[in-house]
Amino acid sequence: MSQQPRIYLSSPHMSGKEQSYINDAFETNWIAPLGPNVDGFEREIATYTGVADAAAVSSGTAAIHLALRLLDVQAGDTVFCSSLTFVASANPIVYEGAVPVFIDSEPETWNMSPDALERALQDAEVLPKAVIVVNLYGQSAKMDEIMAICDRYGVPVIEDAAESLGAEYKGKKSGSFGKFNVFSFNGNKIITTSGGGMLVSNDEEALRKARFLATQARDPAPHYQHSELGYNYRMSNILAGVGRAQLEVLDERVNARRAVFDRYVKAFGNVEGFDFMPELEGFKHNRWLTTLTIDREKVGFTPMELIDTLSAENIEARPVWKPLHLQPLFEGAKYYTHAEGNSVSDELFENGVCLPSGSNMTVEQQQRVIHFIGEMLKKKSLQV
């Protein structure tokens, strides 16, 4: 293992302003959950995304769970979900005893395939209660097509924008298209509150219910009374202060990550067998992570060989998400491919790599990553 300092895939990047919001919470003794920072963070996220309201919660997973509750998802119902994503996108389906049906990606955005979604809806004997569309690695799905399909069938959309805050689709902010929209502020995200999430919607009445459910569903009574199941899902006032400071520099963070992506493309964009995640016209990718696929026949090494080589140099890289339809947890779940005999998600998992992409990664650190990838390419070309 190299003795050089570790280069992480995506580490937290503080702005320096977080402490002032935290200090204010301490000085005013708003230490318990909720408070002015929570209220302010909710308003500011809603304003940034152009949506009516937002509810700050403990995680993106909690936000998805609340969205499913608000849509009355119950045991035995089905919910469609992108397959190429982190397990947190689908776990809340199972929390409610519902059944996930997984939808493949398409190659142009790596996100949910409208073709696969259409076939899944056509096949459904009973329509799903919701469709969870994930915006993978910071790029929106083809929301026009997906929303049109779901509207035609009368199925509400939950837009899982956990990775895509700051991205845009045809001039609108990612996380503003669904009936409910979800952001994550986990430590590795483009902005962070250490841990936390946000449920966003134009349905202000529904978000009032979400806040009720997220605070243990306590009925309005002088004593502790509960008529339905609730959760301890609200964000703390201290963490919301961190989020407010982070949100102030979100656009800077997007620009920094896009610059990281551009440097990788400048170094390797002409390498036959390296194909970076596309960005279609009308889309603005936040480049939360720089991702690419590797053709082992053309470059002479596999994605895992690249990951292992970088790891030996104390550099973190990872495979693309393992599709949920391949996870043991969801063995036997229905899965609709992009086209007959063509599972795009499987291909992306088999050939995909995520490179270090942090907005706080220095140019020198990135050059170190580029150097070792270049050395691999040189070695393989000499062996041919």
CA-atom Rg of the chain in angstroms: 21
Q: What is the CATH number of the domain that holds 367?
A: 3.90.1150.10
Domain total in the chain: 2
Residue 380 annotated as catalytic: no
Same domain, 218 and 88: yes
- Residue-wise pLDDT for 365-374, tens only, equals 999 999 999 9
Same domain, 61 and 201: yes
Q: Which of the 8 DSSP states describes residue 194?
A: S
110, 349 contact by CB (below 8 A): no
177, 52 contact by CB (below 8 A): no
Band of residue 2 on the pLDDT scale cut at 50, 70, 90 = low
Give the domain range for residue 356: 250-383
pLDDT at 383 over 50: yes
Same domain, 310 and 240: no
Out of 203, 226, 248, pick the residue that ends a domain: 248
Among 179, 189, 284, 380, the active-site one is 189
Same domain, 270 and 313: yes
CA proximity to 128, closest of 55, 213, 71, 187: 71
Same domain, 287 and 194: no
Out of 183, 213, 248, pick the residue that ends a domain: 248
d(CA 183, CA 147) in angstroms, rounded, equals 19
Tokens of 331: 């063995």
Q: What is the CATH number of the domain that holds 230?
A: 3.40.640.10
pLDDT at 384 over 50: no
Residue 107 maps to a domain:
yes
Q: Provide mean pLDDT across the span 121-126.
A: 97
CA proximity to 280, closest of 140, 137, 104, 148: 140
Mean pLDDT of the chain: 96
Out of 248, 263, 297, pick the residue that ends a domain: 248
Per-residue b/e over 235-257, b at no fewer than 16 CB within 10 Å?
bbbbbbbbbbbbbebbeebbebb
Model pLDDT, residue 28: 93
Percent of the chain scoring above 70 in pLDDT: 98
pTM of the model: 0.96
Q: Provide mean pLDDT across the span 237-258.
A: 98
